[in-house]
Amino acid sequence: MNPVIELQNLGHYFGQKKLYENLNLSIEPGQIFGVLGKNGVGKSTLIHILMGYILPAKGSCLIFGKPSHALTPDLKRKIALLHEGFKAYDFLSIKQYEAFFSAFYPKWKRKYFYDLVDLLGCDPSQKLSTLSFGQKSQVVLGALFAQDADLLILDDYSMGLDSGYRRLFIDYLKDHVYQTQKSVLMTSHVMGELVGLIDSMMIIQKGGKIYKSSMNEFLDSFHCYMFKDDWELEDLNIHRIERHKDHNRCFTFDTSTRLQLIDCDFEEKFLGYVGKYE
C-alpha cells in the first residue's frame, strides 16, 4: 500500500533555530503515529507543513502521494484536522450541530457522529451551552470522525478532558481505526495513555534531534538504572543522568547486570529521554 504521509529529507528552521533536518517518515494506512516532544520543538509546525499552511525549507512533504501545499480540494476532504483547542457553536443543539456540519462533507457518516455522542447519554436536543466541557469536546470529536476522512490529524486530542472522557475517546479511536483502517497522526502531553494506542512514534527534541521507534521497542530497549558512583557507568553509553540528594539515576539504551534496574512507565522513560527541565 502507498504511504498516506511521506516525508523525504524534510528540514525547517525559524531563523537560526533548527526544528528538524533530513527528516524521513512514512505512515501507512491503519497506523496510529505519535509526534511527541516538549513545547516549542516543532510539533504544531510539522502539522502546519502537513496541512500545506507553510512550505518546508528543505525536502518534500507528500500526502496521498501529492505535495501537501498543492493538494486538490478532493484530497483535502480526505483529511480531518483537530486543532489544539476548538470552537464550538454553543447556541446550536447537538442535533443542529451535526446537521450544520454534515452539509460541508460529501462522505459524512451520521452514524460515526452519534456512535460517539450517544455514549454521553445526552438528549440530541440539548444545546451545547448546557454541556460540560468534556461532553462538548466529544461532540466536536464526533464531528471529526463523521467526516469519514482517510487521515486524522489530532493536535493534542486531550483538549483538557478529564481522565474518563479521554479514556472514552481513546477506546473509540482504537476501535474506529481497527474497523476502518484510517490513519492517525497525533500529538499529546498525556504520555501514559499512549501505551497501547500508538503503533509508532517520533520524539522531537530541541535542536532538531529526532528519535523514531515503535512504542514497544522504546519501552523494551530504553532502561533506567540506579547508581551511586560515576565509575559504575564506565562501560555504559549513557543517554542522561539525573542526580538527587539520596540517589542517582541514569537512562541508557545499554543493559547492565551490575546496576539496579528501575521499573519505569512510559512517561518516566519519555522524560528520561528528553529531560525534565531542558
Residues above pLDDT 90, as percent of the chain = 70
What is the per-residue pLDDT for 89? 87
Distance between CA atoms of 167 and 269, rounded to whole angstroms? 22
Closest CA to 104 of 73, 129, 137, 127: 73
Determine the average pLDDT of the residues in 89-97.
94
The pLDDT of residue 222 is 98
What pLDDT is recorded for position 59? 95
Whether 207 shows a pLDDT value over 90: the answer reads no
Q: Please say whether the beta carbons of 256 and 19 come within 8 A.
A: no
**The pLDDT of residue 105:** 93
Percent of the chain with pLDDT strictly greater than 70: 98
Within the chain, which residue ranges are assigned CATH 3.40.50.300?
A: 5-216
Rounded mean pLDDT, 185-200: 91
Given a cut of 80, whether residue 85 has pLDDT beyond it is: no
When comparing pLDDT for 191 and 261, which is higher?
A: 261
Predicted TM-score (pTM) of the model is: 0.91
**What's the pLDDT at 86?**
67
CATH number listed for the domain at residues 5-216: 3.40.50.300
- Per-residue pLDDT, 183: 96
Residue 158 scores a pLDDT above 90: no
Instruction: Express each pLDDT in 4-59 by its tens digit.
Output: 999 999 999 988 888 999 999 999 999 999 999 998 899 999 999 999 999 999 99
Bigger pLDDT: 167 or 160? 167
Report which of residues 269 and 156 the model is more confident about.
Answer: 269
The total of other beta-carbon atoms located within 10 Å of residue 38's CB is 17
pLDDT of residue 278: 66
Q: Rounded to whole angstroms, how far apart are CA atoms 16 and 47?
A: 21
Put residue 209 in one of left, alpha, beta given phi > 0 → left and psi -120 to 50 → alpha.
beta
Residues 6+ apart with CB under 8 A from 50: 5, 61, 63, 68, 153, 185
What's the average model confidence in pLDDT over 84-111? 90
Q: How far apart are CA 276 and CA 278, in angstroms?
A: 6
| DSSP per-residue string spanning the chain | ---SEEEEEEEEEETTEEEEEEEEEEE-TT-EEEEE--TTSSHHHHHHHHTTSS--SEEEEEETTEEGGG--HHHHTTEEEE-SS----TTSBHHHHHHHHHTT-TT--HHHHHHHHGGGT--TTSBGGGS-HHHHHHHHHHHHHHT--SEEEEE-TTTT--HHHHHHHHHHHHHHHHHH--EEEEE-S-GGGGTTT-SEEEEE-TTS-EEEEEHHHHHHH-EEEEESSGGGGTTS-EEEEEE-SS-EEEEESS--SSSEE----HHHHHHHHH-S--
Mean pLDDT of the chain: 91
pLDDT for the residue 31? 94
Report how far residue 8's alpha carbon sits from residue 10's, in angstroms, rounded to the nearest whole number.
Answer: 5
Greater model confidence, 84 or 145: 145
